[in-house]
Structure 1
Amino acid sequence: MGMILAAPSERVPIEPGLIKVWFQFVPREGWLPYDTEGLWATRLSRDTARVANVPFLQDGVAEGDVVRFITDDDGLHWACERVEASGNCTIRVLPVPDGPLGRSAQAVRERLAAFGLGGESFSSELSLIAFTVPADADLGQIRTLLTRGQMDGWWHFEESCITDAWRSA
């Protein structure tokens, strides 16, 4: 296995009784040099868990999704597949350093605050914010704001895990 990612926000469980489920992936060219990401999850059965935080690097999974995992000889839980989608989306936003918001993760959060999105910042050095967009959020308005912000040079954003509802909003 490669380098195991434990971002500052992930080192301490966000609520008691959670397990860490690890995802392995091929690192993207020109992006962070990690090939694994650990996400907190609520264990549902011997081999399934509901993801309890938003992923920074793993694509195709969102907070609230249920994943199947295997446990290795070292006791690490490795995700195998998503078995139930929550309907939530994962959107990542990176402010443009020389744009109107500078490197401020807080300024990004303030722009999206009206939508009540939950999210986490990667670190003080990298102001990447991963947001959970709930299935019942105003997807059209959120997409419009994200697109406008990108066109106006505020940020770059990527759709890491989206739904048909997001696509058609």
Structure 2
Amino acid sequence: MPPAPAPTDPGTIRSEPARGVIDEQRMMALMENVVEKIKVWFRFVPREGWLPQDIEGLWASKLGDDTASVENCPFLQDGVAEGDVVRYRTDSDGLHWAVGLVSSSGNCTIRVVPVPTGPLGRSPQAVHQRLSEFGLGGEVFSEDFPMLSLTAEAGADFAGIKALLNRGRDEGWWHYEVSCGTDAWWNA
């Protein structure tokens, strides 16, 4: 049995923090690596015959006092993609409103709506499966409206993605639109 530790002299300063205690310097280093997530709101004019919303909030990582990197794929806002850096203004209610694009990530945003009477039915999972070879990430709007918003990352096989999207449209699998395309996308 090991000997019991000697009592600590109250005047002695420990060189190691007690188990479970993080010293202030280490805590500050850990906090520097924590990224603040905020919601950045976009305001737009609703399209006729489309969803009636005129704002959309996207999660973003705060980069500075007025800039953030978009962290999810937009369903409604055109001209922005996951990874883009936007400038925002914070209003008196604490809401962060996008005021412009600072830099493009090179990513593209594609929206796909399965044709209910088509071979894939209303299944966003079937749509995602068809596009899985390209590693597209994204989200589904809702069960009632199974629109997928997908991110095609910069450097992806844009020509292959476009070919499959067009094939799916032509064969009645889905409708699609590119809400944020880059020169590399349009030229592929």
CA distance in structure 1 between the partners assigned to 2:126 and 2:76 by the alignment: 22
1:54 partner SS: coil
Partner Cα distance (1:123, 1:156) in 2: 16
Quote the offset at 1:16 in angstroms: 7.2
Partners of 1:97 and 1:21 lie apart in 2 by 33
The alignment of Structure 1 onto Structure 2 pairs a total of residues equal to 155
Residue equivalent to 2:115: 96
1:154 corresponding residue in structure 2:
173
Q: Secondary structure at the match of 2:69?
A: strand
What is the percent sequence identity of the aligned residues? 65
User: Per-residue deviation at 1:17?
Assistant: 3.1
TM-score with structure 2 setting the length: 0.81
- Secondary structure of the residue that 2:76 maps to in structure 1? coil
**1:35 partner letter:** D
User: Stretches of 4+ moved more than 3 A in 1?
Assistant: none
SS of the aligned residue for 2:113 comes to strand
Paired amino acid for 1:122: F
What is the Cα deviation at residue 136 of structure 1? 1.1
Q: In the alignment, what sits opposite 1:10?
A: none
CA RMSD of aligned residues (A): 1.1
SS at match of 1:68: strand
SS at match of 1:148: helix
- TM-score normalized with structure 1 length: 0.90
- Find the aligned partners of 1:120 and 1:18 in 2 and give their Cα distance: 18
Contact in 1 for aligned 2:61/2:71 (Cα 8 Å): yes
Please state whether the residue corresponding to 2:88 is helix, strand or coil.
strand
* Structure ID, larger Rg: 2
Which residue number corresponds to residue 85 of structure 1?
Answer: 104
Alpha-carbon distance between aligned partners in 1 of 2:185 and 2:40, rounded to the nearest angstrom = 26
Alpha-carbon separation, structure 2, partners of 1:17 and 1:118: 22
In structure 1, list runs of 5 or more residues that go unmatched.
1-14
Query: CA–CA distance in 2 between the matches of 1:17 and 1:64?
Result: 15
Match of 2:36 among 7, 17, 33: 17
